[in-house]
Chains A and B, each alone.
Chain A
C-alpha cells in the first residue's frame, strides 16, 4: 500500500483522448466502472447519512455490552468499551473517505500546476524534477509518517502529509503528458492565432494532460485511504475517540483473539473501498486510452 502508483504512468499514453458526448454512455456500459462507481457512491452515501442509519452515538460507551459478537442488535459486534462497531465504521467512513478525497483533490491540483510549470518553463524543469525525485526517494508511507508526526496528530496534518507524499508521482505524469502535448500542432496553431502563453497553457495544454492524471487520482484516492488507515493504526493519524477505519483496527488489535469482529469489519470496509476505486481507475484508464477504445 505504499506503492505510489507509478503503474499508472502507463496511462500517460491516454494523452489527448478525444472526449465527446459518448464518453459517459461508454462508461456506463463498462462493467467495472459501474460496479466501482456504485460501491463508492454507496459508501459515500452511508458516510453522509451515518446519523440516520445508526441512531447510536459512535463514542457512547456502554461497559455492560463489551465485546458482544455480531448480532441483530450489534450488527458488527461491539468493542472493548461497548461501542457499536457498525456505527463506528459508518462514522469512520466519513473521516477515511474525506481524507482520501481531500488528498486526491489537493495533490491533483498541485501536481497539475507544478507539472505544467515544469514542462512549460524549461529553466525550472531541472530544479522541480530533482526536488520531486528527492521526495520520491522516500517510501511514501515513511515520508507521510514523518510529516504527520512533525505536524501533530490531526486530520489536517494527515491530509498535508499524504498530499506531499503523493505529489511527485502526479507531477511526473502531468509533466510527461504536457511535454508531449506542447509539441503538438494545435499548440502551434494557437500560437499562430496570437494566443498568449498563459492562455495556451490553460486552454490547450492542461486540459489535454488531465486524462492520465484523472486515472492516476482514482488510485491516489485508494492509496490515501489505505495510508490514512496505516497512519492512524500507527498512532500518528486520526486520534481516538474520533473513529477512522485505521484507528478502529488499531484499537481492536489488542483484542484480536477474543473479538475478531472489531478488526474484521473496518478491514472489509477498507478493502471494498480500495477495490472499487481501483475498478473505477482501471475503467477510466481503458476509456480514456484511445488505443483501446472501440468504434467511434
Chain B
C-alpha cells in the first residue's frame, strides 16, 4: 500500500476555558491518500474544523495546548515543523477555503491584489506576470469577464463569485491538498451545486487531494470517496463512501443517513436524532453518543469504546454493533 499524503495519528487538541481544559479533538486518526477526496461529516462542535486548522497549525496559540499525536504530511510531522516550514507549506502545498466567502476577502484590496498575494509569496510572481496568472486563475474558476473582475473590490461580487475567488486563491500554487471547510454552507442551493462541480473538476485537473468538511451528508455523498464521521471530537466511523451508505455501522451514522430528507417520501416531519451534541466540558463516562443512542446497552455507559475494524476498509467505534453485525454475517 502506498503511503498516504496526509496521515493524522491520535491527534488530540485541547482549549483553555474558564473552568480548565476542554478536549475539542480527541484521539483522531485519519488518512488522506493522494488524489483522493475525504469527507469529514459531523454536527457543529464535533471537532471537524479544529482538526483542519490543526493540520495548518492555525489555532489560537494563547488558548490551545500543544496538540498531541502527529500529523504526517509526506512523512513530515507538521505538529513539530518550524514556523518557516509551515509558512512554505501553507498555500503552496496545503490550501484551505472557508465557510463564509463574505468575510474571507479583504475589503480594501482588489481581487487581483488578493489572488496575486499567494503567487508573490510562493512563486515570486509580481507585476504583469502575476496579473496574467491571476486572470488565468479567475478564468479557471469560471468567473466571467475575468480581466475586468480582477480590478473589482470584493463588495461588488456575489457570495458565489467570492467563493470562486477564494478557490482561485487556494489553487494558485497548485497545492497537493485542498481543505474545504464547509465551502458551500453559506451559499444557496443552486450556487452550492456549481461550486461543488467546480471543485470536482479542479480536483481532477490539478490532481489534488481534497478534504471536504461538511455537516451535510448529501454534499459529502456527491463528492467524497471516503467518509469520516465525527461526533463530539472523536471519529466514530471511517468507511468508503458506498459502503457507508450500504452498511452504516455506528448508530450515529445510521441516524445521519436517516436524517437526509428523501424526495420520494411523504413524511411531513424530518427524521432527527433526539438530543443534542454534548458540550466539550461535559463528562460522559462511556460512549459519548450513548445518551442519544437508540441501541444503547449497559456496557456503553461505562466503557470508552475503541475504533475497531469492521471489514478491510471500514472501521467504527461501536463494539456492540460490530459484534451484532459479525454474528449476523457469520
Contact = CB atoms under 8 A, between A and B. Distances in A.
Interface of A: 16-20, 122, 184-186, 188-196, 199, 203-204, 207-208, 296
Contacts of B117: 190, 193, 195, 203
B223 interface: no
Contacts of B107: 16-19, 186, 208
A24 B62 CA distance: 41
B284 interface: no
B104 A194 contact: no
A182 to B, nearest CB: 11
Contacts of A195: 87, 91, 117, 121
B122 A194 contact: yes
A74 B56 CA distance: 74
The list of the 6 closest CB pairs from A to B, nearest first, reads A194-B91, A18-B155, A193-B91, A194-B90, A185-B104, A185-B103
Interface of B: 56, 58, 62, 87-92, 95-96, 98, 100, 103-109, 117-118, 121-122, 153-156, 166, 169-170, 172
Nearest to B58: A191
A97 to B, nearest CB: 29
A194 B106 contact: no
A296 B90 CA distance: 35
A288 B95 CA distance: 33
10 contacts: A184-B103, A186-B107, A189-B169, A191-B58, A192-B170, A193-B172, A194-B90, A194-B122, A195-B91, A195-B117
Nearest to B87: A194
Contacts of A186: 103-107
Contacts of B98: 185, 188-189
Contact of B108 (A190, A194, A208): A208
Nearest to B115: A193
Given A19-B108, A203-B109, A296 B155 contact: yes
Given A16-B108, A195-B91, A208-B106, 20 more contacts: A18-B155, A19-B108, A185-B98, A185-B103, A188-B58, A189-B169, A190-B106, A191-B90, A192-B95, A193-B95, A193-B121, A193-B170, A193-B172, A194-B88, A194-B118, A194-B121, A195-B121, A196-B87, A204-B106, A208-B108
A194 B103 contact: no
A189 B104 contact: yes
B181 to A, nearest CB: 10
A203 B88 CA distance: 19
A192 B58 contact: yes
A186 B169 CA distance: 12
A58 to B, nearest CB: 44
Nearest to B121: A194
A164 to B, nearest CB: 30
Contacts of A199: 121
Contact of B91 (A16, A19, A192): A192
A193 to B, nearest CB: 4
A108 to B, nearest CB: 17
A122 B63 CA distance: 12
Nearest to B156: A20
A208 B103 CA distance: 13
Nearest to B103: A185
A203 B58 CA distance: 19
Nearest to A204: B106
Nearest to A18: B155
Contact of A192 (B96, B100, B108, B109): B96
A196 B118 CA distance: 11
Contacts of A208: 106-108
Nearest to B166: A189
B171 to A, nearest CB: 11
Contact of B89 (A122, A188, A194): A194
A225 B117 CA distance: 41
B320 to A, nearest CB: 41
Contacts of B56: 191-192
Contact of B62 (A19, A122, A296): A122
> Among A191, A194, A208, which residue has the most Cβ atoms of chain B within 10 A?
A194
Given A19-B153, A122-B62, A185-B100, A192 B105 contact: no
Contacts of B170: 192-193
A199 B89 CA distance: 17
Nearest to A207: B108
A235 B107 CA distance: 47
Contacts of B105: 186, 189
A122 B60 CA distance: 12
B153 A18 contact: yes
A188 B97 CA distance: 10
A296 B103 CA distance: 17
Nearest to A206: B108
> Among A17, A20, A207, A296, which residue has the most Cβ atoms of chain B within 10 A?
A20
A194 B85 CA distance: 10
B63 to A, nearest CB: 11
Contacts of A20: 153, 155-156
A18 B154 CA distance: 8
B217 to A, nearest CB: 25
Nearest to B89: A194
Contacts of B95: 192-193
Given A186-B106, A204-B106, A194 B92 contact: yes
A188 B103 CA distance: 10
Given A185-B103, A208-B108, A192 B90 contact: yes
A50 to B, nearest CB: 38
A189 B156 CA distance: 19
